[in-house]
Structures are given as C-alpha cells and as structure tokens.
C-alpha cells in the first residue's frame, strides 16, 4: 500500500511474551553512535530495561573501522554492550549470521544495499516484524527499486512512506512467502 494507516499498528513488533523487540538488526552504525545512547541520555527510562523486556539484542554493522570503534565505545559508555554489538565489515557479510527471529530492521547504510540486506535477513523475520528504511526522499532515485519492492504487495510486506524528515519507508512483514 502506498499510503494509509496500518490497522493494528500497536501490535507490530510485540512478541508473545510481551517483549517489544527480540532482535534488532541495523545496517548502520547508529546503533552505538546515537540510537540507545542518545535516547537514554534524554530520559527514555525504558532503555534501562534493555535485555529485560525491550530489546534482547541489537546488531549493527559498520564498514568504516573508526566509526565502528566509536559506536562500540558509545555502547559501552551507555552500559549496553552486553545487549548490543556493532560488527565491523560489509553488511552482506556481517549480517549473514544473525539470531532469529528478527523483529526490527533499520536500514540507513549504502542505499544500493537496502534490498540485498533485506533479502539476507528476510528469512529470519518474525511475522509482524518491522523494517524501517531512512532517506527515502533524499535518495529518491536510488531507493525507488526498494520502495517499489516493499509496496508491491508481492514480497510479504505491507508498506507506506512516512513523510517525516528525509522520508522513512515503514514496512511490516506478513510472514507469508512471496506471492
């Protein structure tokens, strides 16, 4: 679907045991660079519960060694290193082995890798898993194939573009095989 609302958005990403997210996979170094550290600093107290109901484990990937080191240091400083890691290297290699089921995927790396990374982790997605892709408006031409794939209705996703900042593609995995 190209626009509209998801009928049961409040249920997406919740596991049977009440966790919001079992495994988060991110194709960007934001995992350690900003995501949890900044939210924790801004007083989002639920992040104190990482590993205790919110997120069991987070996996990020970064090809640039200095960014990977900085992200890892930020995770440690935020006290989250036991629940999250940033893997150094090409996402198509570093994300080959991820635990399943995956509940949330955040794509914000090289734009030409959005579809290949999605295809890599798709077999591990839990029904109801959310995939969020950043920079949809900024890289409109480069990400057109990704958006068309997600919105086609033929690949197991219901998807819409959110008109927030640089544009986010918000997609929910049905858990059904490709049509």
pLDDT tens across the length of the chain (179 residues): 233 322 223 333 333 444 344 445 555 444 444 444 554 554 443 434 444 444 456 888 889 999 889 888 888 888 878 878 888 999 999 999 888 888 889 998 889 999 999 999 999 999 999 999 999 999 999 999 999 999 999 999 999 999 999 999 999 999 765 53
Class of domain 9-173: alpha beta
Cβ-Cβ contacts under 8 Å for 94 (sequence gap 6 or more): 61, 87, 88
Q: Full-prediction pTM beyond 0.75?
A: no
d(CA 153, CA 36): 32
The answer to whether the beta carbons of residues 101 and 125 sit under 8 Å apart is yes
Cα torsion for 125, 126, 127, 130, to the nearest 10°? -60
Per the listing, tokens 């988060």 go with 24
């Amino acid at each position: 679907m190209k626009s509209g609302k998801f009928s049961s958005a409040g249920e997406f990403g919740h596991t049977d045991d009440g966790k919001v997210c079992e495994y988060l996979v991110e194709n960007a170094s934001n995992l350690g660079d900003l995501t949890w550290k900044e939210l924790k600093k801004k007083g989002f107290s639920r992040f104190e519960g990482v590993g205790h109901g919110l997120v069991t484990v987070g996996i990020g990937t970064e090809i640039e060694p200095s960014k990977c080191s900085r992200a890892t240091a930020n995770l440690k400083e935020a006290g989250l290193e036991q629940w999250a890691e940033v893997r150094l290297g090409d996402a198509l290699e570093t994300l080959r082995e991820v635990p399943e089921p995956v509940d949330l995927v955040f794509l914000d790396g090289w734009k030409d890798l959005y579809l290949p990374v999605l295809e890599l982790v798709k077999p591990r997605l839990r029904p109801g898993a959310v995939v969020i892709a950043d920079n949809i408006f900024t890289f409109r031409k480069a990400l057109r194939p990704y958006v068309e794939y997600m919105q086609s209705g033929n690949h197991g996703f219901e998807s819409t573009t959110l008109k927030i900042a640089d544009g986010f593609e918000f997609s929910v995995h049905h858990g059904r095989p490709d049509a």
